Structure 1
Amino acid sequence: MDDDIPALLPLHQVAPLRTQADLHHQWRAMMGPLGFGSRRLWLLFLDPDDRPTELLMQIDDIPDVPREGETDSLLRLCHEVRREHGLGRVAVLLSRPGEGPVRASDRRWGRALLASGRRLDVPLAPLHLAHDAAVVPLAGDDLLAVV
């Protein structure tokens, strides 16, 4: 169980989120006590210097597997928000109930988001997963694992 919850600082006090460790720390602070009733996607827009902005989208009750075109639609919206506000990367966290290792459904979301980001020229920060016991990076090895 990941009980070490860092303090959630005001945005103007948060250092740039340039590494996976920086992002992990921020997501862990933002999630607070862990425990999720459904799957959600969290999209945090970073400024060009990788500092978090007030723009945070939360998409509730996402399906286990992304539907055809779903991640493209989402990343098109992110592209427009970035362009309109002059922003940088988008940090993405998938949260879900349960514990344990990365699941096939987590991998499908991660792969689909990364593919849409590449296709639509939306730079994504390292992806993260939060479940009832921990916040972890969705690392390349996790996403490459056989489903």
Structure 2
Amino acid sequence: MTEELFQPTIRTQADLESAWRRLMGPWSFGGRSVWMMLIQDDVPLPQLTEITDADEPDDLFRANFGTVLTLLRDDVVPRVSFAFLVSRPGSGFLTAPDRRWAAALYEITKDAGVPCEIVHLGTKGAIRPIPPDQLEPMASSA
């Protein structure tokens, strides 16, 4: 028996959240990672990229990652939109590091001039959106 390739249509934030739920499953995560999904013409490409051991997003990471996103858009996947999920062990409550990662991803994509979908948080059995309006209260706190 062969498995069908998972190719959802992603047109809304709810579609994206559903795709992340299916891809991440109910399992726990051993450390903080950032997952990247590339979406072209409302369909995700059939490969995720994981950035492991994702501590704090420093200036070097921001500059280099912005360059990578621009190259992907310009040279590899035209009409691409980027979707990110920050995963970590623990509960689904938003923490200051979760907010800092989401804020960094929104800033990096804005500075690179590439489209960014709503960033999501993945924890054991939970996927939740981190929209930009949830970042301000704690974005700079420890």
Q: Could you state the TM-score of these two structures normalised by the residue count of structure 2?
A: 0.87
3-state SS of paired residue (1:122): coil
Q: Which residue of 1 aligns with 2:30?
A: 37
Q: Which residue of 1 aligns with 2:46?
A: 54
- For the 8 Å contact 2:69–2:112, the answer to whether it is kept is no
Give how far 1:71 is off: 2.5
CA distance in 2: counterparts of 1:126 and 1:108, whole angstroms:
14
CA distance in 2: counterparts of 1:145 and 1:131, whole angstroms:
21
CA distance in 2: counterparts of 1:18 and 1:129, whole angstroms:
19
| Deviating 4+ runs (over 2 angstroms) | none
Post-superposition CA distance 1:43-73 (Å, at most 9, x none): 11111x121012421111111x212231231
Please list every run of 5 or more consecutive structure 2 residues that lacks an aligned counterpart in the other structure.
Answer: none
Q: Which residue of 2 aligns with 1:20?
A: 13
Q: Could you state the TM-score of these two structures normalised by the residue count of structure 1?
A: 0.84
CA distance in 2: counterparts of 1:99 and 1:141, whole angstroms:
21
Identify the structure with the greater strand proportion.
2
| Count, aligned residues | 136
Please list every run of 5 or more consecutive structure 1 residues that lacks an aligned counterpart in the other structure.
Answer: 1-7
2:57 paired with 1:66: yes
CA distance in 2: counterparts of 1:54 and 1:83, whole angstroms:
19
RMSD between aligned residues: 1.7
3-state SS of paired residue (2:80): coil
Matched-pair identity in %: 34
One-letter code aligned to 1:41? V
Q: CA separation of 1:24/1:38 partners in 2, compared to 1, >3 Å: closer, same or farther?
A: same
- For the 8 Å contact 2:92–2:128, the answer to whether it is kept is no
Task: Give 1:98's match in structure 2, choosing from 78, 86, 90.
Answer: 90
3-state SS of paired residue (2:59): coil
CA distance in 2: counterparts of 1:30 and 1:100, whole angstroms:
17
Q: Which residue of 2 aligns with 1:3?
A: none
